[in-house]
């Protein structure tokens, strides 16, 4: 077998993405969802390619599922804003998409690219890859938190979907559009989440 054969490229890409995700302490189920590899295959990759003395700790249990993590204090919320903006910048999340995008190798690479940029840009990052993956899922669903553009300064803001009043923009302080405005309602009916 030649490693350069095209028929083995997809499997090699899966393994490379799996090792990249594991390097960021991703749970086995997260690696499986993004790569399509079986649990057993992920564990074998970890055993064969990750050194035992590397200090890598494997997380067990369910992945994060509480949106309140991102809204609990201003520091984490600011980091979630930055990470969401990087998702848009790298193309892992496309605002206004009319349908949910399934996990794929390409999007998994974009998730890792955005997360690694977040780790390099922000001092002492407080969001791990598991929470970053969850943030991407929640943004894609659009039913709990969403991104909205400030009409004044055109900055990107992370807001709760169910809010009674529009909040201020994090950059300029201008009032953000309410999700209950007629224009927003029209967008919701024409572009289902």
47 and 72 in one domain?
Answer: no
74 and 48 in one domain?
Answer: no
* Per-residue pLDDT tens digits for 19-58: 899 888 888 899 999 999 998 998 888 787 766 555 556 6
181 and 89 in one domain?
Answer: yes
107 and 73 in one domain?
Answer: yes
Asked, for residue 61, whether it belongs to a domain, the answer is no
Asked, for residue 62, whether it belongs to a domain, the answer is no
Asked, for residue 1, whether it belongs to a domain, the answer is no
Asked, for residue 75, whether it belongs to a domain, the answer is yes
81 and 23 in one domain?
Answer: no
Q: What's the pTM value of the predicted model, to 2 decimals?
A: 0.80
143 and 79 in one domain?
Answer: yes
Contacts of 41 (CB under 8 A, 6+ apart): none
* Per-residue pLDDT tens digits for 131-146: 999 999 999 888 888 8
181 and 138 in one domain?
Answer: yes
165 and 137 in one domain?
Answer: yes
Q: How far is CA 142 from CA 47, 59, 131, 170, 174, in A?
A: 37, 27, 16, 20, 23
Judge whether residue 185 has pLDDT over 50: no
- Using DSSP's 3-state secondary structure scheme, residue 149 falls into strand
Q: Which domain holds residue 43?
A: 6-54
172 and 122 in one domain?
Answer: yes
**d(C-alpha 72, C-alpha 29), whole Å:** 26
185 and 108 in one domain?
Answer: yes
Total domains in the chain come to: 2
162 and 95 in one domain?
Answer: yes
**Alpha carbon 69 to chain centroid distance?**
14
Contacts of 133 (CB under 8 A, 6+ apart): 26, 30, 34, 63, 111
119 and 87 in one domain?
Answer: yes
pLDDT at 163 (0 to 100): 64
């Amino acid at each position: 077998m030649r490693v350069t054969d095209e028929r083995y490229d997809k499997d090699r890409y899966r393994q490379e993405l799996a090792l990249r995700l594991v390097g960021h302490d991703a749970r086995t189920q997260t690696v499986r969802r993004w790569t399509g590899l079986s649990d057993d295959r992920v564990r074998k990759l970890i055993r064969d390619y990750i050194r035992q003395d590397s200090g890598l700790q494997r997380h067990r249990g369910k992945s994060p599922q509480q949106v309140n993590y991102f809204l609990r204090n201003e520091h984490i919320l600011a980091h979630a804003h930055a990470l969401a903006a990087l998702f848009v910048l790298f193309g892992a999340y496309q605002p206004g998409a009319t349908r949910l995008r399934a996990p794929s190798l390409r999007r998994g690479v974009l998730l890792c690219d955005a997360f690694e940029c977040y780790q390099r840009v922000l001092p002492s990052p407080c969001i791990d890859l598991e929470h970053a993956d969850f943030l991407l899922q929640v943004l894609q669903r659009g039913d709990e938190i969403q991104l909205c553009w400030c009409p004044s300064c055109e900055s990107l803001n992370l807001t709760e979907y169910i809010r009674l009043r529009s909040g201020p923009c994090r950059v300029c302080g201008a009032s953000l559009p309410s999700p209950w405005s007629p224009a927003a309602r029209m967008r919701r009916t024409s572009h289902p989440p």
